[in-house]
Amino acid sequence: MTEVCLAVGCTSLGSFSTQFRRFVGESPSAYQDRVRDEQLARLPGCVVKIFSRPVV
């Protein structure tokens, strides 16, 4: 998130989070979690299992 913060011209993570919430309506971490869940829901279950298996 720090890379995105700096890439869009914010100088602090706090100001980025505040502005992100103001424009998007949710925190950056909540947005990231929601988008990840939506992307995983589109994948077939067998693919999700392959990439979410613990590496021993």
Please name the residue ranges forming H helices in the chain.
2-7, 13-24, 28-42, 45-52
Residues shown for the chain? 56
Above pLDDT 90, what percent of the chain? 18
Token pair 């299992």 is found at: 49
pTM of the model: 0.62
Where along the chain do its domains lie? Answer: 2-52
Residue 7 predicted with pLDDT over 80 = yes
Sequence-distant (6+) residues with CB within 8 A of 28 are 1, 4, 16, 17, 20, 21
